[in-house]
Amino acid sequence: MRLWSLHPSLLDRRGLVACWRETLLAQKVLRGQTKGYTRHPQLTRFRRMVDPVASVGAYLAGLADEADAREFTFNRGLIVVPPSVAVPPARMTVTSGQLDHEWAHLLVKTEARDAAWHAHVVAAERRPHPLFDVVPGPIEEWEILGD
């Protein structure tokens, strides 16, 4: 399971679709609807939020926004708690070290599977998913190194 801290616009087609599917699985886990992945470290940051399901819903909305921009069809009806304009989602943080780690990981993945997208990513501005604010710090303690 890889729930990227990077902005969805940096993910190649395969990465964006995989992130959507894996985040839908994360939503099920956070709702207690599955026996698997319940201790997955990527869920730590969502569990720290006051409303983990709403937070993962806001994360999914960011992915769906990017899918819309690329004219992909992601079913927003699968988002259990979609973000509301009246009640914006609580912001989450990601460390600069985590973002750097994920950037390096994404470069390796895109280089191996899509040379054109890799060139696009290398030239792009590194930025976080719209839900995250970047704070100074090392790689997050929940990150599994070597994935």
**How do the pLDDT tens digits run along the chain, 147 residues long?**
789 999 999 999 999 999 999 999 999 999 999 988 888 898 999 999 988 999 999 999 999 999 999 999 999 999 998 776 556 678 999 999 999 999 999 999 999 999 999 999 999 999 999 999 999 999 999 998 875
Amino acid 68 reads D
Amino acid 75 reads N
Domain boundaries, the chain: 8-135
Q: Is the pTM of this model over 0.85?
A: yes
User: What b/e sequence results for 3-40 when a residue is b if at least 16 CB atoms lie within 10 Å of its CB, and e otherwise?
Assistant: bbbbbbbbbbeebbeebbebbbbbbebbeeeeeeeeeb
